[in-house]
């Protein structure tokens, strides 16, 4: 079995889709297949929380690194922090006559999330604008959908902002030289829109949520001018034991999802990749993903449970012990953060708490997951477009009265910068964090990479505030980061699937949070087949892999652990989410 998209691939291949659908595995396997066919291939990750290093066994850097064992293949990670520092140095290099104080001021101006975004985008544009003649193909492993749509919209957004604007963007500081990048941005936009150069590969699981998001993404990308699209259905399951209720339900759900596929996806060229019994880590597994080659079996972890864990309802009991607080649900895309956040919010409401449930995810699905209004539960989302307009209106109302007509026009032009959205979202996030002083706030966060960028903005604001109040006698302030660092105020819940990649990313996220002096409260292992119980031979190898990951978590990764079993019906709607709260923990009998 080989993907038909490999028959005549374009120079640029973008793999995108909902978190957890297998973008990294499929993009890596595709890049390896092209390199094995004699092509020179560059595999690029645009995800701040990429795990390509684990999959390929090579450290990631901000420049191309050859992949041992795959002649012709190199890998590159657009790391936001490295890109931002490189961008700052380029700006400062354009200021040879500036004194130390002026250079320090500019470095501070270039320390926020806006610079991080434009720096990453600058490197992304370079890969599309002809600076990569050494490669026959560039394969992009992108961040989950919401963040990727933001990235792919930036060439058009920045080109529109720069057109006729000879002043550059004030949010990036003086002498940024952004105007000089206009030619590159326009070239990137042209490359993305050229169907002879660029193919967007929409990746989905045979799941209504993943297929629905793929359809919405397809429509938005067409609006942006990216019309050359294909669809890959990943992880299609066929039951080996039709008498096994869990296996039969998994197969039936997949077939029903395909039967109900949106018409816009039906019109696309399609490939299907069956569910594999192995973890897609390492070159043998990645090569086998698109073929029928066998993969050496991993050592077994033994039968029975290896991780003492309670149900989700016990976690709600622990959270409800306080009178208020912030509960942030974090993790890799596709692990079920929205489901877990909604279930926790419902559990708190059932215990008589007033709860605000919100999300920072651009591809938010809270309303769909809940399926209806719940008394005592306020549900909304941090909408980037609405928050940007709110922020622009606030700035104009505060500053416009002191400006003449021309100065107002210049200010409004500056606020058209795509950077404004990042600032506006941070302000909305800060407001939401502050609400937990008097109520419970459950925050469903965007997938890991996007959340880390938001945390970076929180840290930058904290450092700026410390400098502003430094030396002031009696000054008292509390920044959003200080609230996140307070374990009595904030409880971080890390959600993972019992699979190698989600567990690795949850562990890496935990390390990142600890470096910011934010300590996670608990881990939730979602969709556990061990806890659900199954005898299907096709799932047996996956069960063993799940036990290995549970043993890994038990070996000191989590202070408190809770397990949610895989269910035969999708956890959508208040009744299903309520049942999820009381689902039992794994036992030797169910394993």
Q: Cβ–Cβ contacts within 10 Å for residue 179, how many?
A: 13
Q: Which residue has the higher pLDDT, 214 or 179?
A: 214
Query: Catalytic amino acids?
Result: 20, 22-25, 47, 501
Residue-level pLDDT at 509:
84
Q: How far is CA 291 from the centre of its chain?
A: 28
pLDDT digits (tens, 9 = 90+) for 126-139: 787 766 778 999 99
Least confident of 202-216, 255-269, 463-477, 546-560: 463-477
pLDDT digits (tens, 9 = 90+) for 294-349: 665 554 444 444 455 788 999 999 999 988 999 999 887 778 888 999 999 999 99
Class of domain 312-384+428-469+476-581: alpha beta
Residue-level pLDDT at 591:
34
Sheet holding 198-204, edge to edge: 65-66, 73-77, 41-45, 137-141, 12-16, 198-204, 229-236, 269-274
At residue 462 the predicted structure's pLDDT band, cuts being 50, 70 and 90, is low
Q: Which residue has the higher pLDDT, 516 or 112?
A: 516
CB of 20 closer than 8 Å to CB of 498: no
Phi, psi dihedral angles at 278 (to 5 degrees): -110, 155
What are the angstrom distances between the C-alpha of 469 and each of 131, 152, 476, 479?
45, 39, 8, 12
Residue-level pLDDT at 589:
35
**CA dist., res. 363 & res. 373, Å (int):** 20
Q: Which percentage of the chain shows pLDDT scores above 90?
A: 23
pLDDT digits (tens, 9 = 90+) for 360-370: 776 556 777 78
Q: Where are the domains of the chain?
A: 4-289, 312-384+428-469+476-581
Least confident of 96-100, 165-169, 278-282: 165-169
Whether the pLDDT of residue 63 is over 70: the answer is yes
What are the angstrom distances between the C-alpha of 503 and each of 346, 403, 554?
26, 53, 12
What are the angstrom distances between the C-alpha of 340 and each of 236, 331, 439?
24, 11, 19
In this chain, the answer to whether the domains covering 4-289 and 312-384+428-469+476-581 adopt an identical fold is: yes
pLDDT digits (tens, 9 = 90+) for 65-108: 999 999 999 998 887 677 777 777 777 777 777 777 777 776 76
Least confident of 272-276, 306-310, 415-419: 306-310
pTM above 0.75, yes or no: no
**CA dist., res. 40 & res. 48, Å (int):** 25
Q: Check residue 205 and give left, alpha or beta (phi > 0: left; psi -120 to 50: alpha).
A: beta
| Superfamily of the domain at 4-289 | P-loop containing nucleotide triphosphate hydrolases (3.40.50.300)
**CA dist., res. 548 & res. 550, Å (int):** 5
- What does the mean pLDDT of the chain come to? 79
**CA dist., res. 43 & res. 208, Å (int):** 29
Helix (H) or strand (E) holding 330: strand 325-330
Q: Which residue has the higher pLDDT, 168 or 247?
A: 247
């Amino acid at each position: 079995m080989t993907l038909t998209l490999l028959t005549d691939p374009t120079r640029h291949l973008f793999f995108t889709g909902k978190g957890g659908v297998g973008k990294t595995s499929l993009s890596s396997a595709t890049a390896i297949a092209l390199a094995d066919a004699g092509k020179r291939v560059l595999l690029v990750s645009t995800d701040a929380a990429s795990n390509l290093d684990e999959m390929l066994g090579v450290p990631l850097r901000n420049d191309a690194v050859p992949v041992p064992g795959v002649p012709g293949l190199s890998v590159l990670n657009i790391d936001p922090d490295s890109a931002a520092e490189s961008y700052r140095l380029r700006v400062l290099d354009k200021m040879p006559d500036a004194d130390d104080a002026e250079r320090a001021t500019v470095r501070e101006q270039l320390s926020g999330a806006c610079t991080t975004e434009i720096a990453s985008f600058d490197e992304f544009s370079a890969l599309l604008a002809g600076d990569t003649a050494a490669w026959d193909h560039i394969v992009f492993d992108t961040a989950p959908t919401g963040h990727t749509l933001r990235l792919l919209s930036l060439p058009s957004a920045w080109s529109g902002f720069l057109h006729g604007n000879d002043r550059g963007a004030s949010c990036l500081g003086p002498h940024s030289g952004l105007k000089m990048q206009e030619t590159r941005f326009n070239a990137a936009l042209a490359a993305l829109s050229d169907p002879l150069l660029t193919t967007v590969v929409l990746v989905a699981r045979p799941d209504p949520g993943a297929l629905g998001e793929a359809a919405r993404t397809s429509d938005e990308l067409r609006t942006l001018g990216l019309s050359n699209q294909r669809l890959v259905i990943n992880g299609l399951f066929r039951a080996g034991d039709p008498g096994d209720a869990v296996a039969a339900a998994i197969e039936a759900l997949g077939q029903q999802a395909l039967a109900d596929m949106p018409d816009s996806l039906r019109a696309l060229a399609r490939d299907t990749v069956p569910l594999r019994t192995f973890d897609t880590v390492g070159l043998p597994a990645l090569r086998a993903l698109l073929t029928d080659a066998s993969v050496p079996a991993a050592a077994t972890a033994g039968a029975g449970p290896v991780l003492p864990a309670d149900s989700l309802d016990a976690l709600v009991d622990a959270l409800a012990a306080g009178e208020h607080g912030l509960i942030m649900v974090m993790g890799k895309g596709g692990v079920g953060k929205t489901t877990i956040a909604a279930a926790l919010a419902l559990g708190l409401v059932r215990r008589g708490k007033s709860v605000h449930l919100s999300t920072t995810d651009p591809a938010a699905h809270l309303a769909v997951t809940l399926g209806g209004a719940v008394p005592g539960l306020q549900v909304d989302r941090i909408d980037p477009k609405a928050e940007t307009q709110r922020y622009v209106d606030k700035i104009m109302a505060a500053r416009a009265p002191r400006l003449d007509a021309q100065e107002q026009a210049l200010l409004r032009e500056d606020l058209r910068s795509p950077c404004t959205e990042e600032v506006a979202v941070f302000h909305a996030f800060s407001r939401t964090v502050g609400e937990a002083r008097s109520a419970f706030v459950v925050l469903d966060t965007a997938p890991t990479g996007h959340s880390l960028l938001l945390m970076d903005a929180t840290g930058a604001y904290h450092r700026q505030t410390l400098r502003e109040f430094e030396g002031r006698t009696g000054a008292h302030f509390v920044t959003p980061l200080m609230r996140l660092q307070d374990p009595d105020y904030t409880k971080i819940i890390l959600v993972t699937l019992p699979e190698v990649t989600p567990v690795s990313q949850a562990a890496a996220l935990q390390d990142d949070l600890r470096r910011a002096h934010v300590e996670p409260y608990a881990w939730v292992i979602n969709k556990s087949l061990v806890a659900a119980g199954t005898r299907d031979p096709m799932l047996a190898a996956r069960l063993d892999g799940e036990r290995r990951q549970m043993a890994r978590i038990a070996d000191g990764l989590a202070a408190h652990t809770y397990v949610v079993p895989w269910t035969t019906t999708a956890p959508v709607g208040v009744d299903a989410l309520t049942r999820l709260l009381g689902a039992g923990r794994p036992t030797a009998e169910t394993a």
